[in-house]
């Protein structure tokens, strides 16, 4: 097969094309490579296949929809499944977050939420609130808004000056105080006060919104210290700033509740989702909004568009069908709370890696874990990449960011499969020493 034409995303293209890793088939907890090798999925594809692969309800819903109606324009027109899916999804969301705006990816959900926040203030007569605050080491997708509020240097440095009027609060990663904590770290709630510092610098009346991931995933699994998210909420309330949770990874059951907002008992004003909304089967994202945010836009003559934003493929029929099949599968199998049942077993398993060579931290919550490794001197990211390749060779898919290995298995994972993932990783870490 010719591999030349496809410029692959977030991939070491030259390395890949010398030794390609091609998946050809998937079912349940597994992939099969083009050569027929079985690979246990330790990362739900890319944090998205929460119900496992090839689930019958989802497959059937997509097949039937493709035959029934391929496409319907989402501007000034609708189709029933878009409304059905929005109703079903808001029923899972935190109380009061009862509007859902559809996008096609997490990155688009982030752009949408940022624009919604700025426009919300404007329609209320506070058009001076234009600043956006992100957090260091945050990941909010790859579009210009998302990398501007994001805090990953590699994703930002090549792309010029980004959005104006963006600032960042400090990240919460603190190896000195929190290394090897099981679950939420004890130390660091006070880091939320960094938002007060930015309020002093910019004046809160210029700030539209703060965006954070409740648990940072792609950047390396960073957990919110106990009390941190509550503190952020209080500061936002005090100053009239909107709080946006980016739940693209944490949404749809990863933390043991449908959303991390519920797990951590903090309700944001806007909440971005993607990935698990369709179990990864068809691209889709969305922004949940509080009723009051939506209602602020509902003024002016009724024949005029209230929010000048949307995508050709917003609420695409195939995605809506996949979403309905996905939510039905989650409900029937109790998957959105299964991580809470398994988290003790998962925590014990991943923390058993403590003491292995070069393991400098282990973090976990629900069914997500990060194992941080000491980088090879002068060769950052190489140790973790070698471990990723070794695990793949031994039949387990893990994911790495820098020198952090992340695990986020489908929520259908069995205990024996958790053992297989962790045992395989253990061998790879030992061989990478
Ligand atoms: C928290 C968060 N936001 C946004 C995104 C971007 O989503 P997408 O890749 O679907 O654009 C991701 C992807 O991993 C994510 O983890």
Residue 147 and residue 181 share a domain: yes
Domain that holds residue 418: 13-55+335-431
- From 215, 248, 284, the mutation candidate for ligand 1 (largest count of ligand atoms within 8 A of CB) is 248
* 242: helix, strand or coil: strand
Does residue 348 share a domain with residue 232?
A: no
**Å from CA of 87 to ligand 1 middle:** 23
CB-ligand 1 contact for 315 (6 Å cutoff): no
Ligand 1 atom closest to residue 143's alpha carbon, by position in its atom list: 11
Residues 6 or more apart in contact with residue 338 via CB below 8 angstroms:
253, 256, 367, 411, 412
Q: Considering the domain boundaries, does residue 147 fall inside one?
A: yes
Q: Quick check: CB of 137 below 6 Å from ligand 1?
A: no
In the prediction, which pLDDT does 96 show? Answer: 96
Based on the fold, state whether residues 418 and 285 are members of the same structural domain: no
- Taking residue 326's Cβ as centre, other Cβ atoms within 10 Å add up to 31
pLDDT tens sequence across 74-115: 999 999 999 999 999 999 999 999 999 999 999 999 999 999
Q: Same domain, yes or no, for 294 and 403?
A: no
Residue 155 Cα to ligand 1 midpoint, Å, equals 13
Ligand 1 contact, 169 CB (< 6 A): no
Q: Is 372 in contact with 358 (CB distance < 8 Å)?
A: no
Residue 5 inside a domain? The answer is: no
Asked if residue 6 is part of any domain, the answer here is no
Domain end residue (candidates: 333, 354, 370): 333
| Residue 412 confidence class, pLDDT cut points 50, 70, 90 | very high
For residue 76, the Cα-to-chain-centroid distance in whole angstroms is: 30
**Average pLDDT, stretch 5-30?**
97
Q: Which of 306, 333, 360 is the last residue of a domain?
A: 333
Residues in contact with 33: Cβ distance below 8 Å, sequence separation at least 6, in sequence order: 21, 22, 23, 24, 39
Q: Please tell me whether residues 128 and 249 are part of one structural domain.
A: yes
- What is the number of domains present in the chain? 2
Q: Which of 218, 245, 408 has the most ligand 1 atoms within 8 A of CB, as the residue to mutate?
A: 218
pLDDT band with cut points at 50, 70 and 90 for residue 21: very high
Per residue in 288-319, pLDDT (tens digit) is 999 999 999 999 999 999 999 999 999 999 99
Q: What is the pLDDT of residues 210-255, one digit of tens each?
A: 999 999 999 999 999 999 999 999 999 999 999 999 999 999 999 9
Domain end residue (candidates: 304, 333, 362) = 333
Where are any strands of DSSP class E within 4-98? Answer: 23-27, 30-33, 38-41
- Over residues 22-53, the pLDDT tens digits come to 999 999 999 999 999 999 999 999 999 999 99
**For residue 267, what pLDDT is reported?**
98
């Amino acid at each position: 097969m010719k591999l030349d034409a496809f410029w692959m995303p977030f991939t070491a293209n030259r390395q890949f094309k010398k030794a390609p890793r091609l998946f050809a088939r998937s079912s349940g907890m597994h992939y099969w490579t083009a050569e027929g090798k079985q690979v246990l999925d330790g990362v739900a594809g890319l944090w998205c296949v929460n119900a496992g692969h090839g689930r019958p309800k989802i497959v059937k819903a997509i097949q039937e929809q493709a035959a029934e109606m391929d496409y319907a324009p989402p501007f000034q027109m609708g189709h029933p499944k878009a409304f059905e899916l929005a109703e079903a999804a808001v029923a899972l969301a935190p109380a009061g977050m009862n509007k859902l705006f559809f996008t096609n990816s997490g990155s688009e959900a982030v752009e949408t939420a940022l624009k919604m926040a700025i426009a919300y203030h404007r329609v209320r007569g506070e058009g001076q609130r234009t600043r956006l605050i992100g957090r260091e080491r945050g990941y909010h997708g790859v579009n210009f808004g998302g990398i501007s509020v994001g805090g990953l240097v590699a994703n930002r440095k090549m792309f010029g000056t980004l959005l104006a009027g963006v600032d960042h609060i400090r990240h919460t990663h603190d190896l000195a105080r929190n290394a090897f904590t099981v679950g939420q770290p004890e130390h660091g709630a006070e880091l939320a006060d960094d938002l007060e510092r930015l309020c002093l610098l910019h004046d809160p009346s210029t700030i539209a919104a703060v965006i954070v991931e409740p648990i940072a995933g792609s950047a390396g699994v960073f957990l919110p210290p106990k009390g941190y998210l509550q503190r952020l909420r209080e500061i936002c309330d005090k100053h009239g700033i909107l709080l946006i949770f980016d739940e693209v990874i944490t949404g749809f059951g990863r933390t043991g509740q449908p959303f991390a907002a519920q797990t951590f008992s903090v309700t944001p004003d806007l909440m971005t989702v993607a990935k698990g909304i369709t179990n990864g089967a068809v691209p889709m994202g969305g922004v949940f909004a509080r009723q009051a945010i939506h209602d602020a836009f509902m003024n002016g003559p009724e024949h005029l568009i209230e929010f000048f934003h949307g995508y050709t493929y917003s609420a695409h029929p195939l995605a809506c069908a996949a979403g309905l099949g996905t939510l039905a599968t989650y409900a029937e199998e109790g998957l959105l709370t299964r991580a809470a049942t398994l988290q003790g077993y998962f925590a014990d398993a991943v923390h058993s890696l403590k003491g292995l060579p070069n393991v400098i931290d282990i973090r976990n919550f629900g069914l997500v874990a990060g194992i941080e490794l000491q980088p090879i001197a002068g060769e950052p990211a190489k140790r973790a990449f070698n471990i990723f390749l070794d695990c793949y060779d031994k039949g387990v898919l893990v994911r790495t960011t820098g020198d952090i290995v992340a695990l986020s298995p489908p929520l259908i994972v069995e205990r024996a499969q958790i053992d297989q993932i962790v045992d395989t990783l253990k061998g790879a870490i030992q061989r990478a020493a």
